[in-house]
Structure 1
Amino acid sequence: MTTAAATRRRYGLALGSLLVALTASACGAGVASVVEGSSPKPQAMAAAQGACKTPEVPAGLSTQHVMSGDLRRTVVVYYPHGRMPGKPIPMVLDLHGSGSTPLQQISGSNIAATADKHGFAVVAPQAGIPFIAGKSHGFAWNVPGVPLMNGRPVPSGAPNDVQFIRDTIATMSKSLCADQKRIYVTGFSGGARMASQIGCELSTEVAAIAPMSGLRLPTNCKLNRPQSVLSFHGTSDGTNPYNGSKQLYWSYGVPAAAQRWATADHCGKGVTQQVVNGVMSTTYNGCQGGRQVVLYTVTGQRHSWPGVAGAMAKGYSLPKIDPNEIMWSFFDSHPLDATTT
């Protein structure tokens, strides 16, 4: 086993133990920390950035709650171990796929190890629509104007998940003492579609997005500022096909989605190059406001979070790159513009 693989395995085992402990806590007397109340205004949070107190969450995993509308919504948080209080912390929202849960997303994306290494907090909200995908019983996002993955319309009265994400950013920013210039959003599949929506609608609050296996540009997207976008997508994806499909929730292909974002950001022409064997990157530079759009195309990758075991179709090996490291490097190099805070 390589050093990198051994490290990932150790983090996987540690996270697995934490998941078991958290699940047991949720079934008990409610020992998880809870955050409730009205959402603070971003201006007030920005003014308080110079005096960060001890975060209101423990290190590692915890379940939090955010009031959105009249609903008490669930959010799972991973706060990095060894992080010293007193300085604002970057915050990454990690949105689960259709039929999944926040715990499954944190585990499946292997993001906790990356958070510990680089010192950022992970916030994984729970979508508002109960949803079954195969054997998985979880939740789906209410993406405006987009049907569910099974083709059915969003149920009448479904919660406003865009507002929920907005409320989550506001509430958890206060609880975590988040750096208002370093709030990012990633997500997988349906969570990637939701991350795409958030990147458009909350472009003045979210510094960059990284939709994995589900990049879209929302219909009638009108950016208040250019948005940096990173995405990974596999050519063997049967759920969100790389070159598009006739499914109403999907339609056009991923290269077209990246091009649409590049057009919205007023970028230059895309440049494609090989990163490693089996991985090509298409990069759009020269975007307005120093933004950037990058698409990584992974030959043989299934509908999966990139870089994890089982991600590749038969006959293909995992590429020798670390997508989470690439994602964090992209996020870290794209803070929110000072003029838009």
Structure 2
Amino acid sequence: MKLFSSRLSAIAAGALLAVSLVQAPAHAQLPDISAITAPSSQAAFDANRAWNGLADQINSALPQGSSVPRNIIPQPAPINPPAAAWRPAGPQPVGNGHSGELSVNGRGYLIHVPHGYNPSRAWPVMVAYSAYQDTAEHFRGYSRLRESAVGRDAIIVYPRAIGRSWEGSPTAASRPGQDIAFVRAMINDLHRHYNIDRGRIYATGMSTGGGMAAVSACHMADIFAGVAGVSGAYYAPVNAGCQNIPVAFLAYHGTGDTLTNYHGGVRHGVPYLGVPQMFSSYERRNGCHVGRISQAPVGFNATRVSANGCSKPVQSIKVHGSNHTWWYNPSVADDMWAVLSHVRK
């Protein structure tokens, strides 16, 4: 502190000498620095403001090419208070490496907790939506998310559908907005019990569940960082009136799908969007170089089509000749995680 005050005094003395050599304004006065005992942000700000007023007066009187410095006192960087530490609402309801069921607002969701879960850090979340006329338990089994890299690295939740369907589909039993409200409540409820990373929440789903993954990207883009639809049923409402927020979008789809054709069609008397239409809409939404794509093989029977220059990834994985299914070769669970796990809000 002694060195700091000496440096300031030396500069002030130099300024006085400069004033004596030129005709400075009569009302120019040096700021009182005797009260500064430590270079706190406020003290430094006040002293610099006073000094700068004098410096401007001196510099206006000095010959061109000469000047005294401004902001002579270094200002410490502001210290931001640390974010409040996450605290659980109670004991962990489902233990590490186990599956169970929780509920919120009278509606249940299955949960799987990784073996390595540690509440000292925030964990990503994968929301997994079952297909039409399917159960959360059945989807949990055949999707093999728990057995994949997803189950190792993320908490997985399988929300229960009303009437075994999801909003956005003509088969939905829920009211518009009802499933969206439930998913939002589910994420908040999950965060009461587990330390989740709000910047790394993802969704996937099969068929109509893939459509609900698209609903998540469209109407809950403030929550979800990325989604992956598998043999998705993309009826128009799942991609209409979306939030203008980039979200990673992956579509795994067979080119021989007879239920939801790769290029779109009509089902249950209602048109649905094809993968190319969904791909194109996310190209625009994610700021990609529209129409500039790259292609690469995936396994022995699929091709990855990727948009370029995007703020968030946009990909369609075409499984050649395949029908309406969830794939193990390529493993959609591992493949989607290899892409989505690197994406943050």
Please confirm whether the aligned pair reaches a TM-score higher than 0.5, indicating the same fold.
Answer: yes
TM-score of the pair, normalised by structure 2: 0.68
User: Does 2:301 align with 1:278?
Assistant: yes
Q: Does 1:56 align with 2:93?
A: yes
How big is the shift at 1:49?
5.2
Query: 1:280, 1:259 → 2: CA distance?
Result: 17
Residues 1:114 and 2:132 aligned together: no
1:259 aligns with 2:280: yes
Please give the residue correspondences for 1:132-147 in structure 2 after superposition, counting only pairs within 5 Å: 139-143=164-168, 146-147=169-170
1:211, 1:230 within 8 Å by CA — same for their partners in 2?
A: yes
Q: 1:39-118 to 2 correspondence within 5 Å? A: 48=84, 50=86, 55-59=92-96, 60-67=98-105, 72-114=106-148, 118=152
Alpha-carbon distance, 1:175 to partner: 1.6
SS in 1 for 2:227: strand
Aligned: 1:231 with 2:251:
yes
* Contact 2:230–2:252 under 8 Å retained in 1: yes
- Per-residue CA deviation, residues 50-99 of structure 1 (Å, 9 max, x unaligned), is 556864322311011111xxxx0010001112323321111100000110
Give 1:104's aligned amino acid: H
Structure 2 residue aligned with 1:8: none
Distance in 2 separating the partners of 1:205 and 1:77: 18
1:240 to 260, 263, 266: 260
The Cα shift of 1:186 comes to 0.7
Equivalent residue number for residue 192 of structure 2: 174
For residues 90 and 55 of structure 1, do their structure 2 counterparts lie closer, same or farther at Cα, with a shift above 3 Å needed? Answer: farther
Q: Give the whole-Å Cα distance in 1 for the aligned partners of 2:187 and 2:217.
A: 13
> Relative to 1, partners in 2 of residues 1:271 and 1:54: Cα closer, same or farther, differing over 3 Å?
farther
Q: CA deviation at 1:301?
A: 2.1
Instruction: Extract unaligned runs of 5+ from structure 2.
Output: 1-81
Paired residue type of 1:283: S
Counterpart residue type for residue 237 of structure 1: D
What's the secondary structure of 1:246's corresponding residue? strand
**3-state DSSP of counterpart to 2:240:** coil
Aligned to 1:40: none
* Match 1:191 to one of 209, 213, 217: 209
Aligned-residue offset at 1:224: 3.3
Supply the AA of the counterpart residue of 2:316. Answer: L
Please tell me whether Structure 1 or Structure 2 has the larger radius of gyration of its CA atoms: 2
Partner amino acid, structure 1, of 2:321: G
Q: Tell me, in whole angstroms, the C-alpha distance in 1 between the residues paired with 2:174 and 2:189.
A: 27
Contact 1:90 1:121 in 2 (8 A): yes
Paired residue type of 2:343? H
C-alpha distance in structure 2 between counterparts of 1:276 and 1:115, whole Å: 17
1:280 maps to amino acid: T
- RMSD value, Cα: 2.4
Counterpart contact for 1:230–1:295, Cα < 8 Å: yes
Looking at structure 2, the residues matched to 253 and 335 of structure 1 have their Cα atoms a distance apart, in angstroms, of 27
Displacement of 1:249 in angstroms is 4.6
CA contact (8 A) 2:204 2:210 kept: yes
One-letter amino acid of the structure 1 residue matched with residue 305 of structure 2: T
- Supply the AA of the counterpart residue of 2:155: A
1:279 touches 1:296 (CA, 8 Å); kept in 2? Answer: yes
Structure 2: distance between partners of 1:207 and 1:159: 20
SS in structure 1 opposite 2:334? helix
What's the CA shift for 1:215?
Answer: 6.0
The answer on 1:326 being equivalent to 2:335 is yes
Please give the secondary structure, in 1, of the residue aligned with 2:146. helix
Moved more, 117-126 or 156-165: 156-165
Residues 272 and 49 (structure 1), Cα distance of their counterparts in 2 relative to 1, 3 Å cut: farther
| Aligned positions, number | 257
The alpha-carbon distance between structure 1 residues 239 and 116, as it changes in their structure 2 partners (threshold 3 A), is closer
Give, in whole Å, the separation in 2 of the partners of 1:243 and 1:116.
Answer: 29
Contact 1:54 1:86 (C-alpha < 8 Å) held by counterparts: no
**Cross-structure match for 2:327:** 306
Residue segments in structure 1 that go unaligned for 5+ positions in a row: 1-45, 131-138, 149-153, 308-318, 337-341
Please list the CA deviations of residues 20-72 of structure 1 after superposition, one character each: whole Å capped at 9, or x if unmatched.
Answer: xxxxxxxxxxxxxxxxxxxxxxxxxx9555556864322311011111xxxx0
Structure 1 letter corresponding to 2:341: D
Query: What SS does the aligned partner of 2:210 have?
Result: helix
